[in-house]
């Protein structure tokens, strides 16, 4: 299993009020320059918060939600400090309760 780190917030807050485009552009540019594989994802309506273990966390986050998930705990800590009004956590996957850590419940 792999440890995934995340921040969770309302879609309105993260996608409308915060300049995430700038953060992702800079991070992607840095990864390309250093030949590093992308290890972060933005997931609308993340499926992992639907499992029983995340019921309390989900109840604290306005819906619909969005998560930024990463394999890099330092990046998530930096985002938490920068964005302030987000929930930070981690989980192990794949597992019986989280078969796909990047799954979304959003219908396209």
Domain ranges (residues) in the chain: 2-93
Strand partners, 2: 93
| pLDDT (tens digit per residue) in 30-75 | 999 999 999 999 999 999 999 999 999 999 999 999 999 999 999 9
Query: In the structure encoding, which two tokens stand for residue 15, read together?
Result: 């996608």
Q: Identify the three-state secondary structure at position 36.
A: coil
What's the fold here for domain 2-93? Answer: Alpha-Beta Plaits (3.30.70)
| pLDDT (tens digit per residue) in 13-29 | 999 998 889 899 999 99
User: How far is Cα 40 from Cα 80, in angstroms, rounded to an integer?
Assistant: 14
**Number of Cβ atoms within 10 Å of the Cβ of 55:** 10
């Amino acid at each position: 299993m792999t440890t995934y780190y995340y921040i969770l917030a309302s879609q309105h807050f993260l996608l409308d009020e915060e300049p995430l485009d700038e953060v992702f552009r800079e991070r992607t540019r840095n990864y390309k320059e250093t030949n590093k594989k992308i290890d972060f994802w933005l997931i609308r309506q993340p499926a992992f918060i639907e499992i029983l273990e995340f019921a309390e966390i989900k109840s604290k986050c306005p819906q619909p939600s969005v998560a930024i998930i990463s394999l890099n705990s330092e990046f998530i800590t930096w985002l938490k400090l920068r964005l302030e009004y987000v929930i930070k956590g981690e989980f192990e996957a794949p597992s019986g309760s989280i078969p796909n850590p990047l799954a979304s419940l959003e219908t396209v």
